[in-house]
Amino acid sequence: MSSVFEARTGAADVTASAEREWRRPSYWPFVIPALVVVLAVIVFPWAFTIWMSLNEWKVGSPTIFVGFANYLRLPSDPRFVEAVAHTLVYTLLSVVLPLVFGTFAAVVFHANFRGRGVLRGIFIMPMMATPVAIALVWTMMFHPQLGVLNYLLSLVGVPAQLWVFHPATVIPSLVLVETWQWTPLIMLIVLGGIAAIPTEPYEGALIDGATAWQMFRYITLPLISPFLFIAAMVRMIDAVKSFDIIFAITQGGPGTASETINLYLYSVAFTYYDLGYGSAIAVILFLLIVALAALLLYLRQRAQWTEIGGGA
């Protein structure tokens, strides 16, 4: 009797297994559309850009395969070298200043005071404005004769500045616009980190007689460092590829004093119609972003291990 039952059970298991095998759903109908979109939107444009960078291709002329000649041409191009220097300086200032002011604003807005919600809403308004509108407003503010900035400086006895109309001050002036627009974003990121910190460390520090600066230096700053790295990476990627604000205000001028890699790429590809050389610049710009992001990740990982080793 038991052998008959086991035989029937075994047959039922085989039948059920066969049905499951036959009815097994396929996930390919769901994967293929996404794969096609990724290939069409991401993979193909980059593959085509790399292929163009290996050719001499000007609009109206046939393509000529030149290998890495476009890349070998870059170090001897003084305008490209100058654009790299401008990009690095602009990126460094556009990351450091919003981080400093955004962290300070986060600490201030984390405190409980009357009207905090309204002031927070006002503070984040620059982040919501469109870049072209921001550029037009700041262009009027930067005007040497009619701009409000020089008027404010005259009230405190400071002589008028040329702002974006002088090579020495154009990049700091553009960084001022970036800092004004993106400090609220850093504030929001850091504010989320501060809100996640438990209150027990601060209570213990108050019992030990720690000052406000000591609590910020030894409690708040180490605990919000992951948020600071995230904010720095977001700002770094955005600053390296910044185009709209710079182009709308200065178009890379005066001369080429504010021309970054992105603006030089635009000039090469869409003014001189040298698509092959412009594609090589685009690839280098992408590699620069990847290198800077990898550097930030390495510094974050090293800081993490230092904290662990210090705590041990």
The string of pLDDT tens digits covering residues 165-219 is 999 999 999 999 999 999 999 999 999 999 988 888 888 888 888 888 999 999 9
Does residue 260 surpass a pLDDT of 80? yes
- Token pair 């409690």 is found at 219
Question: Which residue has better confidence, 35 or 92?
Answer: 92
**For the chain, percent of residues with pLDDT exceeding 70:** 88
Considering the entire predicted model, what is its pTM?
A: 0.84
Phi, psi of 65 (to 5 degrees): -70, 125
What is the identity of the amino acid at 190?
Answer: V
pLDDT score for 312:
40
Q: What is the pLDDT of residue 24?
A: 58
Q: Which pLDDT belongs to residue 305? A: 54
For residue 137, pLDDT beyond 90: yes
Show the 3-state SS of 261-308: HHHHHHHHHHCCCEHHHHHHHHHHHHHHHHHHHHHHHHHHHHHHHHHH
Q: Indicate the pLDDT class of residue 94, thresholds 50, 70 and 90.
A: very high
- Token pair for residue 195? 């809100």
Per-residue confidence band for 25, with pLDDT thresholds at 50, 70 and 90: low
Contact 186, 103 (CB under 8 A): yes
Q: Which residues pair with 65 in a beta bridge?
A: 55
- Bridging pattern class, strands 55-56 and 64-65: antiparallel
What fold is seen in the domain 69-311?
Answer: MetI-like fold (1.10.3720)
Residue 12 C-alpha from the chain's centroid: 59
| CA-based torsion, 306, 307, 310, 312: positive or negative | negative
pLDDT value of position 44: 86
